[in-house]
Amino acid sequence: MKIVVDAMGGDYAPQSIVAGVVEAVRELGVNVVLVGIKDQVEEELRKFDYPRKKIEIIHAPEVVGMDEPATVSIRKKRESSISVGMKLLKEPDYDAFISAGNTGAVVASASFNLGMIPGVERAAIGLVIPTLKKFAFLMDVGANTEPKPEHLFHSAQMAQVYVREVLGVPNPSVGLLNIGEEAGKGSGFEKETHKLMTEQLSHFLGNIEPNEIFSGKTDCIICDGFVGNVVIKVSEGLMEAAGTLLKREIKKSPMAMLGAFIIKSNLQHIKKYADYSEYGGAPLLGVNGLVMISHGRSSPKAIKNAIKATMREVEHKIIESMRKVISGQ
Amino acid sequence: MKIVVDAMGGDYAPQSIVAGVVEAVRELGVNVVLVGIKDQVEEELRKFDYPRKKIEIIHAPEVVGMDEPATVSIRKKRESSISVGMKLLKEPDYDAFISAGNTGAVVASASFNLGMIPGVERAAIGLVIPTLKKFAFLMDVGANTEPKPEHLFHSAQMAQVYVREVLGVPNPSVGLLNIGEEAGKGSGFEKETHKLMTEQLSHFLGNIEPNEIFSGKTDCIICDGFVGNVVIKVSEGLMEAAGTLLKREIKKSPMAMLGAFIIKSNLQHIKKYADYSEYGGAPLLGVNGLVMISHGRSSPKAIKNAIKATMREVEHKIIESMRKVISGQ
């Protein structure tokens, strides 16, 4: 197995990426191809001890900035790490591509260079999120902000494959994210999607309200990319704000500081539980190849976990499974 | 001043509503008209001591259920507490209407019976939410799930009036909720709205990302009713889940229980801070009359606070101010 990793993607690239890759080859025995500006990648690699044969470098002279328009990787910077890395997937030796870089650029480049799974029109990004039971798979969290009902239907089918094969949940259930439980809730778009899923999707449990996302009510939660992105960003912001408030409160009295000191490890445990990077990256599904998107602020550990999750995708041949489900075989 | 209150609306009606109204007339000296099934309302009132002249009952034989379709209050139950109460607003003696009942029915009944402020096409619901600075006004949280850009523009103008007059913030700033900070982010709808606000809205600070909602970056945060509803429900669900996780963690060790005991009051302080009911109800803006929507699970205190906020709306004549701003005077 050979996994291609964008060495230049993310806020802490290439340092964080290279460190995570080194951890992965040491612990997981995987082969990695680092794509990026060769000198910089080599300089980072020199800091570590690792089995040399396990990491290969492929030079890509350009870098897509985190704030550049999505199409830059296709139209302008054709020699960027995203572009070069993505194109490698078309060759039989390379199994998957991981990037913590510009999400829009990765989605555009994947759609353009790899094409889609037959029957699927648009790609979507899934994300494993923690719940009170264990986890749920939220999709789409940002690729397709103006989907048609069929796009969400295909997302649901692909999410079920992912959760079954990669997360090991037999017969995953699906909920449609909506602002009410009844079938008639939401806009015309939600009503039409609800109808389509009711008629054609296996194990569809109907609408799921946003306050139930973290309850673990369904294994997959399907929504459009705008709403999914709002869900994860509101959650991030709220946890940060709650943490800040707690710190402010605690500083008000020495007794509170003592109490907080005692339960510090418990609070950290919750923080760890809520940390998406514990669960690997966010798979881009629908394109004809395995592409994993990591958070722009990915730590080395997050990169390692993304590689680990990607290895399961490769082992379980999820593209083949998705192809079968979409074509109704 | 005379405020009409739907005695039958909400999960704990009429008990919770009547109790809140009694608290309000005692503490705030306001006159209240309770609309609902007379026998039931009288029975509840008998439990309390209060200045008799301050509370009047108007009989409405029907009740719109919390899960009934929005149009029931207009088409079928014309003698419901929502319908009867709303129609009172057309008479000069009554200043505002408050309901903790079926939100959709209140929105439909208000639009149908009161009509709109000239120039405004659709109503929207605002909500005061706590932030790290103080608070922000999020609008729309659920009335209009498929708005046009002009609807959001009018929402922004009305939100500014509300925040200035009722919350006392001079020259309130506005952010457009979007999944990226740059002007080109989001779907066509967001781009068009961004353009409209940039060109015509005073103190528009551009896009605000969902993770910044609780930071207090802008005074008003504008979005469509579907997304706004997702924001408040995700927040509710996440805080609940975090609380459950914390309890689970703490139960694991006696030391953690001690630590939690010490900071219990601090945690409760945060919970109180995050409790929307502390800040009154959610005003329905755009209709030609003062309508306040309370949470279906409103406590007596939440009802009292909704009445308090509504009194400020009446005192500051916000309908007149909104009419002026919308017409460009």
* Regions of chain A with pLDDT less than 50: none
Which of chain B's residues have a Cβ under 8 Å away from the Cβ of A213? 234, 237-238
**For residues B233-261, b (16+ Cβ closer than 10 Å) or e, as one string?**
bbbbbbbebbeebbeebbeeeeebeebbe
A271 touches chain B (CB under 8 A): no
Residue contact B188–A227, C-beta within 8 A:
no
Tokens 């029915």 belong to B105
The answer on A138 and A69 residing in a single domain is no
Query: Any chain A CB within 8 A of the CB of B254?
Result: no
> Do B250 and A263 make contact, defined as CB atoms within 8 angstroms?
yes
Residue B71: partners with Cβ closer than 8 Å, 6 or more residues away: B105, B108
Q: For residues A83 and A94, what is the distance between their CA atoms, to the nearest angstrom?
A: 14
A99 in helix, strand or coil? strand
B160 and B261 share one domain? yes
Query: Across the A/B interface, how many CB contacts are shorter than 8 Å?
Result: 162
Using CA coordinates, name the residue in chain B closest to A261.
Answer: B259
Distance from CA of A257 to the nearest CA of B (A): 8
B69, B237, B245 ranked by CB distance to A212: nearest: B237
**A135 CB within 8 Å of a chain B CB:** no
Q: Are residues B27 and B56 in the same domain?
A: yes
Domain co-membership, B292 together with B224: no
Local structure of residue B287 (DSSP, 8 states): B
Distance from CA of B31 to the nearest CA of A (A): 35
Among B188, B234, B263, beta carbon nearest to A210: B234
- A263: which residues sit within 8 A by CB, 6+ positions away? B249, B250, B256, B259, B260, B263
B229 by DSSP, 3-state: which?
helix
Chain B: residue whose CA lies nearest to A147: B187
pLDDT at B281: 85
Does some domain include residue A222? Answer: yes
Nearest to B179 by CA among A276, A143, A194, A107: A143
CB contact under 8 A, A266 and B256: yes
CATH classification of the domain holding A200: 3.40.718.10
How many domains are contained in chain A? 2
Q: Are B132 and B275 members of one domain?
A: yes
Contact predicate A10/A67, CB 8 Å: no
Nearest CA-CA partner of B291 in B166, B106, B133, B53: B106
Interface check for A246 against chain B (CB to CB < 8 A): the answer is yes
In single-letter form, the type of residue at position A295 comes to H
Is A251's Cβ below 8 Å from some Cβ in B? no
Phi, psi of A9 (to 5 degrees): -90, 135
How does residue B153 score in pLDDT terms, banded at 50, 70 and 90? very high
User: What per-residue confidence (pLDDT) applies to A277?
Assistant: 64
What is the value of ipTM here, to two decimals?
Answer: 0.89
Distance CA A10, CA A21 (A): 14
Whether B145 contacts chain A with CB within 8 A:
yes
Q: Which of residues 64-123 of A touch B (CB under 8 A)?
A: 67, 69
Chain B hits for A230, Cβ within 8 Å: 177, 179, 210, 227, 230-231, 234
Question: In this model, does residue B278 exceed pLDDT 70?
Answer: no
* CA-to-CA dists, residue B229 to A55, B68, B139, B235, angstroms: 47, 19, 9, 10
Give the pLDDT band of residue B302 (cuts 50, 70, 90). Answer: very high
**Contact predicate A283/A126, CB 8 Å:** yes
Q: Do B209 and A233 touch (CB under 8 A)?
A: yes
- Closest by Cβ to B146, choosing from A184, A187, A233: A187
The CA-based angle B116-B120-B126, given to 5 degrees, is 85
Q: What angle do CA A123, A129, A134 make, to 5 degrees?
A: 130
pLDDT of residue B88: 97
Chain B residues inside the 8 Å CB shell of A259:
258-263, 266
Looking at the structure, do residues A234 and A145 belong to the same domain, yes or no?
A: yes
B187 vs chain A: nearest CA distance in angstroms?
Answer: 6
C-alpha closest to that of B280 among B257, B308, B299, B251: B308
Any CB–CB contact under 8 A between B134 and chain A? no
Mean per-residue pLDDT over chain B, rounded: 92
Residue recorded with tokens 């029931």:
B72
* Interchain contact, B214 vs A249, CB within 8 Å: no
Confidence bin at B276 (pLDDT 50/70/90):
low
In a domain, A328, yes or no: no
Contact A206, A181 (CB under 8 A): yes
Distance CA A58, CA A38 (A): 7
Contact at CB, A266 and B244, closer than 8 angstroms: no
Please state the rounded mean pLDDT for residues B82-92. Answer: 96
Per residue in B185-218, pLDDT tens? 777 889 999 999 999 999 999 999 999 999 999 9
What pLDDT was estimated at residue B187? 78
Pairing of strands A290-293, A282-285: antiparallel
Q: The domain containing residue A113 runs over which residues? A: 1-120+286-317
Residues 6+ apart with CB under 8 A from B94: B2, B3, B4, B33, B88
Q: Write down the pLDDT at residue B277.
A: 64
Same domain, A311 and A185: no
Residues in chain A within 8 Å Cβ distance of B215: 237, 241
Alpha helix positions (H), chain A:
15-28, 38-45, 72-75, 81-88, 103-114, 149-165, 188-200, 225-250, 254-262, 264-274, 300-315, 318-327
One domain, residues A206 and A294: no
In a domain, A327, yes or no: no
Q: Are residues A205 and A109 in the same domain?
A: no
A200 plus A150 within the same structural domain: yes
Query: Measured between alpha carbons, how far is A298 from A305 in angstroms, rounded to an integer?
Result: 10
Strand partners, B2: B31
User: CB-based contact (8 Å) between A42 and chain B?
Assistant: no
Give the strands of the sheet with A174-177, arranged side by side: A55-59, A31-36, A2-6, A96-99, A290-293, A282-285, A124-130, A135-139, A220-222, A174-177, A204-208
Query: Are the beta carbons of A175 and A205 closer than 8 angstroms?
Result: yes
Q: Cβ of B263: how many Cβ atoms within 10 Å?
A: 24
Which comes out higher in pLDDT, residue B235 or B184? B235
The whole-number pLDDT of residue B199 equals 96
Q: Is residue A110 one of the residues assigned to a domain?
A: yes
Using DSSP's 3-state secondary structure scheme, residue B35 falls into strand
A216 touches chain B (CB under 8 A): no
B183 inside 8 A of chain A by CB: no
Chain A nearest C-alpha distance from B248 (Å): 10
CB B64 within 8 A of CB B77: yes
Contact A109, A36 (CB under 8 A): no
Query: How far apart are alpha carbons B17 and B57 in whole angstroms?
Result: 13
Does residue B138 sit in the same domain as residue B98?
no
Please, are residues A261 and A178 in contact by the beta-carbon 8 Å criterion?
A: no
Residue A246 CA to residue A222 CA, distance in Å, equals 33
- From A229's Cα to the closest Cα of chain B, the distance in A is 7
Q: Which amino acid is at A49?
A: D
Q: How many CA atoms lie within 13 A of A91 on its CB side?
A: 11
User: Do both B102 and B15 map to the same domain?
Assistant: yes
Give B231's contacts in chain A (Cβ within 8 Å): 230, 234
Contact indicator for A291, A110 with CB cutoff of 8 Å: yes
Q: How does pLDDT run across B59-83, given as a tens digit for each residue?
A: 999 999 988 888 877 788 889 999 9
Nearest CA in chain B to A243: B270
